[in-house]
Amino acid sequence: MTHLVSLQAELERSRRRRQWVQLLMLALVLVTVLGSIQVIIIEDTDWDRVGSFGQIMESVGRFMALDLSLIPHLGIPMLETFLMACLGTLLGLFFSLPVAWFGALNVTPSKRILYPFGRFLMTLSRSIHEMVWALIFVAAVGLGALPGILAIAMRSVGFISKITAEAIENIDPKPVEAIRAVGGNNFQVMYYGILPQIKTVVLGTIIFEWDINIRRSAIMGLVGAGGLGLTFFRQMAMYNYGGVTVVILAILSLILLGEILSHYTRKAIV
Amino acid sequence: MNAYNSIQSKAPAREWSRYRFPRDLFRFTALLACLLGLMFAIDFLGIDLARLLTLFGRVGEVLSERYFPPDVDYVMQGDYLASVVETVQMAYLGALIGMLIAAPLAWFASWNVTLSRRVLYPLARLFIMASRSVHEMIWTILFVTVLGFGMLPGVCALVMFCIGFAGKLFAEEIEVIDMGPVEAMRSAGANPLQTFCYAVWPQIQTAWTGIAIYTWDVAFRAATVVGFFGAGGMGWYLKRNVQQLETERVAAILLSIVVLVVISELISAWARHRLNRKRDANRIAIEAEAA
């Protein structure tokens, strides 16, 4: 009986301690949030420039006067953006094959050197924003669609190769052993033993990434790779806010199209 | 044995081929179409394939000649470090406000518990999809045009980005919950808010926390570059130095971005890992209780 009572007291005490910790965390979060609001929103903002609510609504209103005369000129940039996303995803897949091979623990050629290297490449590719990749490639290969494609490819490598490497690590090792046992070389092991097992996962991932890449390729024009981004940038530079809205609507419709396409392709594959 | 052989030889010999008629025709036609599409794309975008071949040599050359010794002193300056802190705060605030808006939206945008399937569901879906579809850079430019330079438009852009990102993941998490508790609450006469708080929330709590950590991580990644279009933080320094062709400083800034993002990713991976362990432990405890 006394044992039970002491247990209850112990439980009560631990609950109270947990509540204290939670309260402390909440206070900490509140203080940091208030601090950030003070620094970022109140001190740093030029409230005269923002103006009153009416003035904000007025500048929003300028975007609402759609410039429909732009629509005939949007076809080619839309196609460019779409193709840039497709080629970027394809090139990204091409780059991610070796990275996935290095970064999968069970097939990597060397666990000491290439495995960490592959993992590092995956993190590096994902942690650099596509704008930054685009800046690097515009500096290296000049303006045009090529730097956009390369930037999208580099940004896609991380995700595709990470999922692929995880799929390779989770395969059933028996087919691989069977092919080894009948004398298959490394390439045959990969082609007949590993590839059939990871095919669906990789295809699903590529479709997913392609869908995201349409979104990314729509902004590549902002740093000098063509497509809808360039049209957006031009409309912005001309202060033609109605045109800007039309370009954004074009981007939205392209993405909607991509989402519908990827939905049906995924259904057809899986 | 003889009889068997004779039967075999009398049977019409069946042709075995690696190629099967309709299936392979479709397959090769699709392959051909893909190749043609690829050629068309390369031609349409005016890509010089010869340039692609020498690409890595040239990228290496550019990096080593112009970007190489990164100007580390530049990123160690007080001004720049202050902008790093501002970037962190921007991401923090943007992710927090974004998720506060995304949570009710996700509730409305999940088919199984939404308040009204006719009105609120499509509206919330549309809002989440629209904020997800427009890239955070475009949001930044739009908010800078409306609100002027500074960190406020950056925070607003991140808020929109987080609504799209977290809203979708939150809603997906609600849609796979066990509907038993929800029905129990409803049949006991609970109002929608009570149903959400006592039947839905306990089931999604851990998953949402994981998503929240991930959202913060992704928002930070976006926050490093929103300044590129005038929304404060490190991106502004990046833009200025890119335009002044101070390539060694650009290299240093890019390096600092990579280092910070990797650190934030490590922290978020560690936090999510701990959370998952806790979730597994919880699940085991629940299963043990049920058994």
The pLDDT value given to residue B282: 62
pLDDT of B227: 84
B93–A37 C-beta distance less than 8 A: yes
Residue of A31, A40, A214, A233 for testing the chain B interface, max B β-carbons within 10 Å: A40
Claim to verify: residue A144 and residue A188 sit in the same structural domain: yes
CB contact under 8 A, A44 and B130: no
* A88 shares a domain with A35: no
Residues A5 and A90 in one domain: no
* Model confidence pLDDT, tens digit, residues B195-210: 888 888 888 888 888 8
Mean pLDDT computed over A143-153: 87
Q: Which residues of B touch A63 (CB under 8 A)?
A: 142
Reduced to 3 states (helix: H, G, I; strand: E, B; else coil), residue A63 is helix
pLDDT tens-digit series, residues B130-143: 888 888 888 998 88
CB contact under 8 A, A251 and B141: no
Burial of A197 (0-12, 13-18, 19+ CB in 10 A): middle
Read off the DSSP letter of residue A193. I
Instruction: Write out pLDDT tens, residues B105-117.
Output: 999 998 888 888 8
Count how many domains chain A has.
2
Determine, yes or no, domain membership for A50.
Answer: no
- Structure tokens, B11: 């049977």
List Cβ neighbours of B171 (8 Å cut-off, separation of 6 or more).
Answer: B105, B106, B109, B110, B128
Residue of chain A nearest B269, judged by CA positions:
A123
Please give the CATH architecture assigned to the domain spanning B79-290. Orthogonal Bundle (1.10)
Same domain, A137 and A6: no
Give B5 or A84, the one with higher predicted confidence. Answer: A84
What is the domain extent for residue A12? Answer: 1-41
Amino acid identity of residue A210, one-letter, is W
pLDDT score of A265 more than 80:
yes
Q: Are A86 and A23 members of one domain?
A: no
**Do A24 and A116 fall into the same domain?**
no
Percent of chain B with pLDDT over 90: 11
Name the residue ranges covered by the structural domains of chain B: 79-290
In a domain, A46, yes or no: no
* ipTM (interface pTM): 0.80
Using an 8 Å CB-CB cutoff, list chain B residues near A126.
Answer: 265
A18 residue type, one letter:
R
By Cβ distance, the residue of B62, B148, B152 closest to A41 is B152
Alpha carbons B179 and B117: distance in angstroms, whole number: 17
Q: Are residues A210 and A115 in the same domain?
A: yes
Confirm if A140 and A227 have CB atoms less than 8 A apart. no
B63 contact residues in A (CB cutoff 8 A) = 136, 140
Rounded distance between C-alpha atoms, residue A26 and residue A65, angstroms: 45
Q: B43, B59, B41, B136: which is closest to A138 by C-alpha?
A: B59
In chain B, the percentage of residues whose pLDDT exceeds 70 is 89
Shared domain check, A173 and A77: yes
Q: What is the pLDDT of residues B228-275, one digit of tens each?
A: 888 778 888 888 888 888 888 888 888 888 888 888 888 888 888 888
Predicted confidence band of residue B14 (pLDDT cuts 50, 70, 90): low
Question: What residue spans of B45-179 are helical by DSSP H?
Answer: 49-53, 55-66, 72-75, 78-108, 120-133, 136-147, 151-175
